[in-house]
Amino acid sequence: MAEQTKVTTLEKVVVRFSGDSGDGMQLTGTIFSNLSAILGNDISTFPDFPAEIRAPQGTLSGVSGFQVHLGSRKIYTPGDKADVLVAMNPAALKVNVKNIKQNAIVIIDTDSFQKNDLTKALFTTDEPFEELGLTSAQVVAVPISTMVKDGLVEFELDNKSALRCKNMFALGLVCWLFERPLEEAMHMLQNKFAKKPAIVKANIKALTDGYNYGHNTHATVSTYRIESTNVEPAFYTDVNGNKATSYGLIAAAEKADLRLFLGSYPITPATDILHELAKRKDLGVITVQAEDEIAGVCTAIGASFAGCLAATSTSGPGLALKSEAIGLAVIAEIPLVVVDVQRGGPSTGMPTKSEQTDLMQALYGRNGESPAVVLAASTPTDCFDAAFWAGKLAVEHMTPVILLTDSFIANGSSAWKIPDLENYPAITPNYVTNYKGEAPWKPYLRDEESLVRYWAVPGMEDFMHRIGGLEKDYETSAISTDAANHQKMVTVRQAKVDYISNYIPYQIVEGDQDAELLIVGWGGTYGHLYEAMEDMQDQGKKVALAHFKFIQPLPKNTAEVLARFKKVVVVEQNNGQFANYLRGKISGFNPYQFNRVKGQPFVVSRLVEEFTKLLEA
Amino acid sequence: MSIEVKYAKYVAKDYKSDQYVRWCPGCGDHAVLNCLHKAMAELSIPPHKTAVISGIGCSSRLPYYMNTYGFHTIHGRGAAIATGVKTAQPDLSVWLITGDGDCLAIGGNHFIHAVRRNVDLNIVLFNNKIYGLTKGQYSPTSDRGFVSKSSPFGTVEEPFIPAELTLGSRGTFFARSIDVDLKNSTDILIASAKHKGTSVVEVLVNCVIFNDGTHKEIADKENRADRTIFLRHGEKMLFGKENEKGLVLDGLKLKVVTIGQDGYTLDDILVHDAKTPENTMHLLLSMMSGDMPVALGVIRDVDSFVYGEELHKQIEEVQAKKPIRKLKEFLMSGEIWQVK
């Protein structure tokens, strides 16, 4: 045996698995991230699907990727650029040049780097690495296809089936590289292919062969170790934002003792919420796949009137179509949760890409003075809490709540501590049975403190009533066009939403409380902003982060928080919608802005650069 | 005994709200409202178990005049909102009040899909062939060439025939009545409520202000016997003042014959079968116009799968197989790992 391979300890590392749509890269990445989580690393992952469903094999448009960021300290994003790239073909290499570090380890299947493979990926020479300028990459060239086929001879699989195990060979090699024992991966394969024992055996063989290949040939100069982080002892699972949103809605319904209803129309990137909730009939969830976006929200409004916790899920174009109906929920004062998984706009825009450009639409995109609650989720797992809050505020305050997530956190995933609902606040609908006034009950009579009207659900005896989209009289609840009454109702509907600031947490500031620069963000950029702050703190700079989940109404201490810092920068993936909103709400507030609208997540290093400039300005 | 009757059965005024009815004097909607109150009393579904949903338009004001649960919503979306109500609470009696503009123009998509799904809604479609609330524009049921404020030289488009659209959407119940025919309108509303699945009742109503007399030719008492045929399931398709005329099939078309003439006897006259799933005859009947009598009554009433029932059955079936009811139990049954 040759001398031992060197072991290097790393704090965090980014691995990107990349290949053809059919190469099983999503499964490979998921297994690797899950087993890393089980070994006590923190993880954050992001799948990168091609826009086409099945592009021609080996072409640039058919490349599918899965990025995992793991570390021995808290991980907030899937990482800027990869330290390790697995490229199953030349197209995967070419597409990912911009996604990897200059000195990255690149594992390739040499059998898939033949002349015609290179041609398909539009290489003009036989030297793909030189052609791409990847001269300092550490290339691990392995004839993966050949070795997989040879290793599986005894299984008597046809050629195609054998080659489908290539991804497991690559996974085995990566497991060796990061000193991951294979037991958990084997266990996951057994679960995944429980009904196909022959496939399980073949995959495990390829996985083991890949691991042993690395070990026996010392495929790289060094292997890497990422120590366990101090994760809170508990049960964990892997969850993406759309699933967490679905579970948050279920949790809110469970807490409120209401049935959950989702009316929805398929739209990228929100459809997975409909998928998940359609499966949850075991938990009693009703889903209606409506004929269009408008019917999605309207069936939810009907279900809410009939006493459900009702929600609709959509993305920007769908929110535009729903706006009139959301206005109905505003004036009828019924609970409604609208989930907008933001994507690139305007119009159809970039359906699979992510940005934060629907904030103004959520806040003001309706006719009339039409206040609604607006919340934003900050990470994949925070989607659970945000959806729970959305359900709670909708039901307790008889109002539509628009929950903004985005494509990035909806599809990104991380390890999630399975929550105990006992630790979540109660949800108490303001049923009409709470009404203790002396005057006979009318549908628009309100609780004096919260201004919330009482909820009478069809089926309740003696509370028959009519509501609707026409303005109503404050006292009698009959249709009214009286001028003074309309002014009063406009004011009271706004006040009802404003008063919700009495029922939500104060805004917190993370980082240095005496920072020289306060970073302000909202929604799905949390991970990147937090990492930027941490990196700057590591460099000895004094920075803080105020990241907003509650947008309308803002937390009560918002003005005070923002006034505490000399320099404030509002950072968004839009042209400054939150910055402008804050300017309108807080007199004299005049922050710096950093805005990028590329459909891509922020790059942490770029943020650090920008914030450093601001500090020095 | 009288006490028992009083509590077991509701009367029409139990369904009336205290609101002043604001339709124009002479509007056909008043008559339909009265028929609806009567029909509900006859059905005696408690007011608190009844929800009346509407869109926007003159007829859509109706929920305010009902002492039931009511929701006056937005233009065209009533069918979608009613679908949500009924799906959430299958044991409510859910009515949708709509007009030709609300239902067939802006709400056309929701209408055809509610019918296709066969949601158990009682849809009452007030057809006055005009936009009344916006003061007199042609509607999707206005006849070709109809002159209105928005078609000063006559329309250049074909109208929808609500029955054709209902049957084309695979509807399971369609009936037609005239506002002035109170007795039959009430009976038809009762029949529509008893039907499981979407029932569509087209009521031909007169707009006294903007389209007065649009249904006059068939609605007037002196013409009605000859210009309309009232269909009853299992009965011969007869009409005329003396029931002397009837319908027969001539190839693939319907033909009016007079009994005793051209060798036709009563035996030759077709018998109305509203219950046959095959909808061709229902379409032929409901499309009659011009020289043919306009068909009134319950034209189609067939049993089929009902949306909400099927949906809740599916939930029950899944739950029967899986004992998990709480989110945490569900999450713990998935792919999890423990950090100790």
The H-assigned helical ranges of A454-594 are 483-498, 526-538, 558-563, 577-585
CA distance B76 to B102: 5
Q: Write out pLDDT tens, residues A495-547.
A: 999 999 999 999 999 999 999 999 999 999 999 999 999 999 999 999 999 99
**Percent of chain B with pLDDT strictly greater than 70:** 98
Q: Write out pLDDT tens, residues A601-611.
A: 999 999 999 99
Q: Span A290-302, mean pLDDT?
A: 98
What does the H/E/C string look like for chain B? CHHHHHHHCCCHHHHECCCCCCCCCCCCHHHHHHHHHHHHHHHCCCHHHEEEEECCCCHHHHHHHECCEEEECCCCCHHHHHHHHHHHCCCCEEEEEEEHHHHHHHCHHHHHHHHHHCCCCEEEEEECCCECCCCCECCCCCCCCCCECCECCCCCCCCCCHHHHHHHCCCCEEEEEECCCHHHHHHHHHHHHHCCCCEEEEEECCECCCECCCCHHHHCHHHHHHHEEEECCCCECEECCCCCEEEEEECCEEEEEECCCCCCCHHHCCECCCCCCCCHHHHHHHCCCCCCCEEEEEEEECCCCCHHHHHHHHHHHHHHHCCCCCHHHHHHCCCEEEEC
Query: Is the CB of residue B66 less than 8 Å away from at least one CB of chain A?
Result: yes
Give residue B340's pLDDT.
79
8 A C-beta contact, residue A339 and residue A270: yes
CA distance A491 to A483: 13
Give residue A527's pLDDT.
96
Residues 247-306 of B with CB under 8 A from A: none
Give residue B1's pLDDT.
35
8 A C-beta contact, residue A278 and residue A312: no
Q: How many structural domains compose chain B?
A: 1
CB < 8 Å to A418, chain B: 328, 331-332, 336
Give residue B2's pLDDT.
38
Give residue A51's pLDDT.
67
User: In angstroms, how far is CA A526 from the centroid of its own chain?
Assistant: 11
CA distance A86 to B199: 60
> Would residue B273 count as lying in a domain?
no
Residues 6+ apart with CB under 8 A from A92: A18, A19, A20, A63, A65
Token readout for B285 is 């009947």
CA distance B60 to B52: 10
> Would residue B248 count as lying in a domain?
no
Q: Which residue has the tokens 């069809």?
A: A458
8 A C-beta contact, residue A543 and residue A611: yes
Give me the amino acid identity at A211.
Y
Better-predicted residue by pLDDT, A46 or A595: A595
Q: Which residue has the tokens 């909820």?
A: A455
| CA contacts within 13 A on the Cβ side of B9 | 13
User: How crowded is residue B257: how many other Cβ atoms within 10 Å of its Cβ?
Assistant: 18
Q: Which residue of B has its CA nearest to A232?
A: B339
Q: Span A116-143, mean pLDDT?
A: 94
> Would residue B67 count as lying in a domain?
yes
> Cis before residue B25, ω within 30 degrees of 0?
no
CB < 8 Å to A305, chain B: 51, 69, 71, 81, 84-85
Q: Write out pLDDT tens, residues B265-303.
A: 999 999 999 999 999 999 999 999 999 999 999 999 999
Give the pLDDT band of residue B8 (cuts 50, 70, 90).
low
8 A C-beta contact, residue A199 and residue A207: no
CA distances from B191 to A174, A447, B188, B205 (A): 70, 43, 5, 19
Name the strands in the sheet holding A517-522, side by side, starting at the edge strand that comes first in the sequence: A510-511, A543-548, A517-522, A567-572, A592-595
> Would residue B298 count as lying in a domain?
no
Query: Is the CB of residue A400 less than 8 Å away from at least one CB of chain B?
Result: no
Residues 423-452 of A with CB under 8 A from B: none
CA distance B265 to A201: 81
Q: Span A377-391, mean pLDDT?
A: 98
Give the pLDDT band of residue A3 (cuts 50, 70, 90).
low
Residues 6+ apart with CB under 8 A from A608: A532, A535, A536
Give residue A230's pLDDT.
76
Interchain contact, B339 vs A40, CB within 8 Å: yes
Read off the CATH number of the domain in which B85 is found.
3.40.50.970
What is the phi/psi pair of residue A169, to 5°?
-60, -45
Token readout for A79 is 């990482």
> Would residue B118 count as lying in a domain?
yes
Query: Is the CB of residue A422 less than 8 Å away from at least one CB of chain B?
Result: no
The interface predicted TM-score (ipTM) is: 0.97
The domains of chain A, with CATH numbers, are 6-226 (3.40.920.10), 238-414 (3.40.50.970), 510-616 (3.40.50.920)
User: In angstroms, how far is CA B203 from the centroid of its own chain?
Assistant: 8
Q: Span A576-594, mean pLDDT?
A: 97
Taking Cα atoms as reference points, which of A317, A260, A271, A268 lies closest to residue A294? A317
Q: Which residue has the tokens 């040939």?
A: A217
Coil/strand/helix, residue A377:
coil
Give me the amino acid identity at A42.
D
Taking Cα atoms as reference points, which of A194, A373, A178 lies closest to residue A186? A194
Asked if the model's pLDDT at residue A7 lies above 70, the reply is yes
Give the pLDDT band of residue A617 (cuts 50, 70, 90).
confident
Query: Is the CB of residue A468 less than 8 Å away from at least one CB of chain B?
Result: yes
Residues 6+ apart with CB under 8 A from A252: A260, A309, A387, A388, A390, A391, A392, A395, A427
Interchain contact, B85 vs A40, CB within 8 Å: no
Give residue A220's pLDDT.
80
> Would residue B197 count as lying in a domain?
yes
Q: Which residue has the tokens 């650029």?
A: A81
Give residue A180's pLDDT.
93
Q: Span A328-333, mean pLDDT?
A: 98
CA distances from A466 to A48, A396, B77 (A): 49, 20, 17
8 A C-beta contact, residue B102 and residue A323: no
8 A C-beta contact, residue A306 and residue B50: no
Q: How far is the first Cα of chain B from the last one, in angstroms, to the nearest whole number?
A: 73
Neighbour-count burial of A419, counting CB atoms closer than 10 A to its CB (0-12 exposed, 13-18 middle, 19+ buried) = buried
CA distance A189 to B40: 61
CB pairs under 8 A between A and B: 198
Give residue A506's pLDDT.
98
Asked if the model's pLDDT at residue B5 lies above 60, the reply is no
8 A C-beta contact, residue A218 and residue A63: no
8 A C-beta contact, residue A263 and residue A312: yes
CB < 8 Å to A240, chain B: none
Interchain contact, B335 vs A191, CB within 8 Å: yes
> Would residue B38 count as lying in a domain?
yes
CA distance B50 to A173: 66
> Would residue B244 count as lying in a domain?
no
CA distance A37 to B159: 64
CA distance B257 to A168: 80
Give the pLDDT band of residue A246 (cuts 50, 70, 90).
very high
Taking Cα atoms as reference points, which of B184, B339, B323 lies closest to residue A415? B339
CB < 8 Å to B48, chain A: 458-464
8 A C-beta contact, residue A288 and residue A315: no
What pTM was estimated for this model as a whole? 0.95
Structural domain of residue B39, as residue ranges? 2-219
CA distance B152 to B128: 19
Taking Cα atoms as reference points, which of A589, A594, A590, A591 lies closest to residue A612? A594
What is the phi/psi pair of residue A362, to 5°?
-65, -40
Q: Give the closest-approach CA distance of A280 to chain B in angstroms.
A: 9
Query: In sequence order, what are the beta bridge partners of A111?
Result: none
Coil/strand/helix, residue A276:
helix
Q: Which residue of A has its CA nearest to B91?
A: A459
Q: Span A577-593, mean pLDDT?
A: 97
Which residue of B47, B71, B326 is in closest CB contact with A468? B71
> Cis before residue A346, ω within 30 degrees of 0?
yes
CA distance B83 to B62: 18
Q: Which residue has the tokens 């989209």?
A: A469
- Report the residue of A254, A283, A370 to disrupt the B interface, i.e. the one with the largest count of B CBs within 10 Å: A283
Which residue of A284, A288, A299 is in closest CB contact with B315? A284
Token readout for B49 is 């178990």
